[in-house]
Amino acid sequence: MNHVSIASIRHEKRFMKIRTFIIDAFTNEPFKGNPAGVCLLDRQIDVTTMQGIASELNLSETAFLLQNESSPSEFSIRYFTPTVEIAFCGHATLASSKLVLERLKLPKVEFTTHHNLKLSAVTDDKYIAMKFPLYDTVAHKVNHAMYEAFEINSPVSTRFSKDLNVLLIEVKDNETLLAIKPDYNKALMEGTFNNLIVTARSKDHEYDFYSRCFCPWIGIKEDPVTGASHSVLAKYWGDILGKKEMVAYQSSKRGGFMKLKIISIAELEVRSNAQIILEGLMEV
């Protein structure tokens, strides 16, 4: 019997090692907030491999970063759920910013997404400050079965963001928000959104509003903390509350916070933190 060494197999397949991280975003504490995978690439890899890695990590999103050789603070970034590529992910952007600013010791990072969206981040005292786009919503009607799927009896308002394909539903209070127990199978039959955001005005002085984010249509049931949803929520609640600066909390099991500042009709500053939990090498 011929024996083949592991070394010879690796030589034949030309394995590439990818620095891979798991980073908890929108939190000051480990094991809270929203975990993202971040892969720091030495060269471009194919979409099938990126999707395979995202599926293997099985986190809500995994970001793939490739540094611009002629401009070290600039990176291309792509986002994958375990099942599909998506255009934009806030918590994976924050996780990526944490990695670049802290480990690569850069004063600023600028990302360009696969859809040519420009994002940037800097260290701001104990937080990371990011510039996100700001999206408006329009009034929207859905089938009553969609409300039933999320146990919503008396919605205050239902809005839609075409830019992100996101449905937003306001409910009367945080107690109603926390009581939601979705029927995901029913939800899948009633829409094809990227996310459904359910939100409520705060009654306390710590936060301005609360939210939860459900994404069964892209392979995620409930997202722990969702930066992209606040690109919609900031405009929505800013108009209602008459505020440019707000503090938000996403009321998932893990939970997470962010400080929001509306810069212009199209730009939002998001400030929060992230924790690097795990670092290793993946061979593909």
Residues 6+ apart with CB under 8 A from 24: 30, 31, 32, 33, 34, 35, 95, 274, 275, 277
Residues paired with residue 24 on neighbouring β-strands, in sequence order: 35, 275
Q: How far apart are CA 14 and CA 16, in angstroms?
A: 6
- Give me the DSSP letters along 56-114: HHTSS-EEEEEEETTEEEEEEEEEE-SS-EES--HHHHHHHHHHHHHHS--SEEEEEET
β-bridge pairing 108-113 and 71-80: parallel
Active-site residue, from 12, 29, 61, 175: 61
Q: What Rg, from alpha-carbon coordinates, does the chain have?
A: 20
Known catalytic residue at 74: no
- Give me the DSSP letters along 98-157: HHHHHHS--SEEEEEETT--EEEEEEETTEEEEEEE----EE----HHHHHHTT-SS-SE
**Residue 185 CA: distances (Å) to CA of 56, 145, 188, 194, 284:** 24, 12, 5, 15, 34
123 C-beta neighbours (distance < 10 Å), count: 16
Q: How far apart are CA 226 and CA 38, in angstroms?
A: 16
Phi, psi of 247 (to 5 degrees): -120, 130
Residues classed as catalytic: 61
